[in-house]
Amino acid sequence: MGVPAKPKYTPDSYTVALICPKGIEFAAVEGMLEHTHPPIPMERAENAYTLGQISNHNVVVVMLPESGTSAAATTVTQALNDFKSIRFGLLVGVGGAIPVEEVHDIRLGDVVVSMPAGTFGGVVQFDRGKIYTDGRFERTGALSKPPNLLLSSAGKLHARHIREGNSLMKNVSTLLSKFPKMRKGPLGDPGSAKDLLFEATYPHPEKMNTCKSCLPEKLVNREPRSEAGPEIHYGTIGSSNLVIKDGITRNKLYDELGIICVEIEAAGLIDEFPCLVIRGISNYADSHKNKEWQPYAAATAAAYMKELLETIPSSEVYKARRAVDSLKNPPDDFQRELRDKISRLEKLNKIFEQNNKSQAKDIESLKEKLKGVQREFRESKSGGGGQSGGSGGRPESVGGFD
- Asked whether residue 232 is domain-assigned, the answer is yes
Same domain, 104 and 196: yes
Answer whether residue 197 is part of any domain.
yes
pLDDT 10s digits, 293-304:
999 999 999 999
Once rounded to an integer, what is the mean pLDDT over residues 257-279? 88
The answer to whether residue 395 sits within a structural domain is: no
Residue 121: give its domain's CATH number: 3.40.50.1580
What pLDDT digit, counting tens, does each position of 378-400 carry?
665 455 444 434 444 433 333 33
Q: What is the mean pLDDT of the chain?
A: 82
- pTM of the predicted protein model: 0.78
Question: Does residue 402 sit within a domain?
Answer: no
What is the model's pLDDT at position 163?
A: 96
Q: Between 343 and 278, where is the model more confident?
A: 278
**What does the pLDDT read at residue 83?**
95
Considering the domain architecture, whether residues 377 and 322 belong to the same structural domain is answered as no
pLDDT of residue 330: 56
Claim to verify: residue 240 and residue 377 sit in the same structural domain: no
Same domain, yes or no: 185 and 202? yes
With a pLDDT cut of 70, the percent of the chain lying above it is 75
**391 assigned to some structural domain:** no
Position 205 in a domain: yes
Of the candidate ranges 105-119, 224-238, 256-270, 348-362, the one whose mean pLDDT is the lowest: 348-362
Domains identified in the chain, total number? 2
Same domain, 369 and 298: no
Same domain, 235 and 366: no
- Same domain, residue pair 154 and 211: yes
Among 148-152, 160-164, 202-206, 267-271, the minimum mean pLDDT is found in 267-271
Statement: residue 333 has pLDDT above 50: no
Q: Are residues 58 and 116 in the same domain?
A: yes
Which comes out higher in pLDDT, residue 58 or 381?
58
The pLDDT confidence band at residue 329, using thresholds 50, 70 and 90, is low
27, with CB counted inside 10 A (0-12, 13-18, 19+), is buried
* Whole-number pLDDT of residue 4: 57
Range of the domain at 216: 12-330
Is 351 found in the same domain as 322?
no
* In a domain? residue 2: no
Are residue 122 and residue 89 in the same domain, yes or no? yes
Residue 401 included in any domain: no
Residues 37 and 56 in one domain: yes
Average pLDDT over residues 164-177: 94
**Claim to verify: residue 17 and residue 85 sit in the same structural domain:** yes
